[in-house]
C-alpha cells in the first residue's frame, strides 16, 4: 500500500543534517543530472551525509582527451564520468590517495609519443612511481586494465595529454563488450565511491545545437565556450545525432534500468553547471522526462549565479526555467504536467547574481515554489558554496 503525506520542515534542518552525518550509509537518494566538473565540491561535501546519491552524467563531450578516445573507439565520453567518480571517492581508505592521484594524472603534452608509450609500458610492468606506491589488489587491477588498453590501442593513437583514469575506464568498457556497468562497478569498488554514477545513455553520439541566428554547432566542445569562442546568439534547439558531418536527429531512448534508477530517487535536482551541455543534454534521450514525471519526489532547479555560463547567452532566469520545462515535458507534453517535473526553484536573492528575477506570479500559476535561502558565502562569492547547497538539498530530501 502507498499513501501520500504532506509535512512541514525546518529549512535548513540542522537535526536532519546531524542524523544524516551520523549514518551516511542510510542517507537519502538525491539524484543529479549534470556534467562532470561543476559539482566537484558539492559531491565531496555530499558524501559526508549520504552514500546513496545518484549522478546521471552526459557522455557527449567532444573536446580534449575525451575526443581522442571517442574517435578512436567510437565510444561515449568517459571524462565527466571519471571526474564524478573521483569527486565521490572516500579518501580515508588506505591506498586511495595514491589511486586518486594516478587516475587524475595526465601524460604531458610536450613529450614524444615513443617516450609516452615507453612510460605506459613501465606502468603496466609496475615499474613506474605512480603505480609502485599503490597497494594490492588495486595495483594489479590498474596494471591489468592498462595492458588491456595497450592491446586495444590503435597504432595512430595519440597519448599526449591522455588521462590515465580515462584509459582505465575505456579499457574496462571495451573489454566488457562495450558495457559501462562492469567497469563502473569495478572502479567504484576500487576507490570506494560513495554514490552511483551512470552515463544517461551508453552510445556514441554528438550534441548538436541550432542557434536563433541559424548557425548549426556540431559537438559539445563547440557550444561550451571553453575551447572555442562563446556563442553570440540564443540557443534555439538541441538534439543528439550519430554524425557530426550529417547532424540529423537520432532516435535515442534510455534503457529500462536507467528509468528504474530515476524512479528510486527521493529528490531530483537540476543543478548549477553548463545549462545546455550538462542539464538539458541529459534530458534529450526519450524516456528521461517520463521517468522523472512518474516519480512523485520533489524536483528542484538551482540556477547558476555569477552570470558566467556562456551557454545561456541573453537568457534570463525565467527563460531558463521555460527551456528546462520544455525539455522535461517533451516525451508527452499533453500529459506531463509542470508540477510532475519541477516543484522548487532555489535561489539566494540577497547574495546571488542572477540574470533577472524569477516571475513569482508566473511560477505560482504553475505551482512552482521559490525558496530563497543563503547559497553564496563570502568565500565562494559570486558562486554557490557547496556546503550551503548540500545543507539546502538534504533539508528537502
Contact 289, 341 (CB under 8 A): yes
pLDDT at 228: 86
**Which residues touch 227 (CB under 8 Å, ≥6 apart)?**
63, 64, 221
pLDDT at 37: 81
pLDDT at 71: 92
Contact 80, 59 (CB under 8 A): yes
Across the strands, what pairs with 269?
32, 300
pLDDT at 151: 97
pLDDT at 261: 98
CA separation for the pair 328, 342 (Å, rounded): 9
pLDDT at 18: 95
- The pair phi, psi for residue 236, each rounded to 5°, is -95, -40
CA separation for the pair 96, 187 (Å, rounded): 12
Going from N- to C-terminal start, the domains of the chain cover 14-57+262-396, 64-198
**Which residues touch 188 (CB under 8 Å, ≥6 apart)?**
85, 196, 197
CA separation for the pair 128, 80 (Å, rounded): 26
306, HSE (Cβ side, Cα atoms, 13 Å): 17
pLDDT at 6: 63
Cβ atoms within 10 Å, residue 300: 22
Query: Quick one: how far is CA 260 from the chain centroid?
Result: 18
- Which run of H or E residues covers position 166? helix 164-175
Helix, strand, or coil (residue 60): coil
pLDDT tens across the length of the chain (397 residues): 555 656 677 778 899 999 999 999 999 999 999 987 889 999 999 999 999 999 999 999 988 888 899 999 999 999 999 999 999 999 888 888 999 999 999 999 999 999 999 999 999 999 999 999 999 889 999 999 999 999 999 999 999 999 999 999 999 999 999 999 999 998 898 889 999 999 999 999 999 999 999 999 999 999 988 888 899 999 999 999 999 999 999 999 999 999 999 999 999 999 999 999 999 999 999 999 999 999 999 999 999 998 789 999 989 999 999 999 999 999 999 999 999 999 999 999 999 999 999 999 999 999 999 999 999 999 999 999 999 999 999 999 8
pLDDT at 1: 53
- Which run of H or E residues covers position 89? none
pLDDT at 4: 62
pLDDT at 39: 94
Amino acid at each position: 500500500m502507498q499513501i501520500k503525506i504532506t509535512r512541514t520542515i525546518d529549512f535548513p534542518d540542522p537535526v536532519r543534517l546531524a542524523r544524516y552525518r551520523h549514518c551516511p550509509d542510510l542517507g537519502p537518494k538525491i539524484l543529479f543530472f549534470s556534467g562532470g566538473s561543476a559539482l566537484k565540491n558539492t559531491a565531496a561535501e555530499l558524501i559526508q551525509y549520504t552514500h546513496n546519491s545518484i549522478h546521471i552524467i552526459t557522455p557527449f563531450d567532444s573536446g580534449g582527451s575525451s575526443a581522442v578516445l571517442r574517435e578512436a573507439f567510437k565510444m561515449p565520453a568517459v571524462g565527466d564520468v571519471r571526474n564524478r567518480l573521483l569527486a565521490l571517492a572516500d579518501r580515508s581508505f588506505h591506498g586511495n590517495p595514491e589511486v586518486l592521484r594516478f587516475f587524475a594524472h595526465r601524460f604531458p603534452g610536450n613529450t614524444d609519443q615513443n617516450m609516452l608509450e615507453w612510460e605506459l609500458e613501465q606502468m603496466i610492468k609496475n615499474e613506474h612511481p605512480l603505480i609502485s606506491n599503490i597497494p594490492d589488489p588495486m595495483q594489479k587491477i590498474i596494471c591489468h586494465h592498462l595492458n588491456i588498453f595497450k592491446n586495444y590501442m590503435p597504432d595512430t593513437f595519440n597519448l599526449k595529454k591522455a588521462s590515465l583514469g580515462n584509459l582505465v575506464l575505456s579499457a574496462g568498457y571495451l573489454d566488457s563488450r562495450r558495457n559501462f556497468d562492469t567497469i563502473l562497478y569495478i572502479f567504484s569498488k576500487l576507490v570506494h565511491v560513495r554514490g552511483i554514477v551512470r552515463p544517461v545513455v551508453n552510445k556514441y553520439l554528438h550534441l548538436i545545437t541550432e542557434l536563433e541566428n541559424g548557425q548549426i554547432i556540431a559537438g559539445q566542445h563547440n557550444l561550451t565556450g571553453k575551447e572555442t569562442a562563446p556563442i553570440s546568439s540564443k540557443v534555439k534547439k538541441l538534439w543528439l545525432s550519430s554524425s557530426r558531418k550529417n547532424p540529423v536527429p537520432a532516435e535515442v531512448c534510455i534503457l529500462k534500468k536507467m528509468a528504474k534508477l530515476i524512479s528510486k530517487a527521493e529528490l531530483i535536482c537540476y543543478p548549477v553547471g553548463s545549462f545546455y551541455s550538462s542539464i538539458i543534454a541529459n534530458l534529450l534521450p526519450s524516456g528521461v522526462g517520463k521517468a522523472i514525471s512518474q516519480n512523485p519526489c520533489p524536483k528542484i532547479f538551482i540556477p547558476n549565479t555569477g552570470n558566467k555560463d556562456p551557454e545561456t547567452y541573453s537568457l534570463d532566469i525565467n527563460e531558463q526555467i521555460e527551456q528546462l520545462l520544455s525539455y522535461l515535458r517533451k516525451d508527452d507534453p499533453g500529459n506531463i504536467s509542470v508540477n510532475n517535473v519541477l516543484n522548487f526553484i532555489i535561489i539566494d536573492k540577497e547574495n546571488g547574481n542572477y540574470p533577472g528575477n524569477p516571475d513569482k506570479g508566473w511560477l505560482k500559476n504553475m505551482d512552482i515554489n521559490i525558496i530563497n535561502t543563503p547559497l553564496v558565502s563570502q568565500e565562494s562569492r559570486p558562486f554557490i558554496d557547496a556546503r550551503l547547497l548540500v545543507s539546502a538539498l538534504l533539508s528537502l530530501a
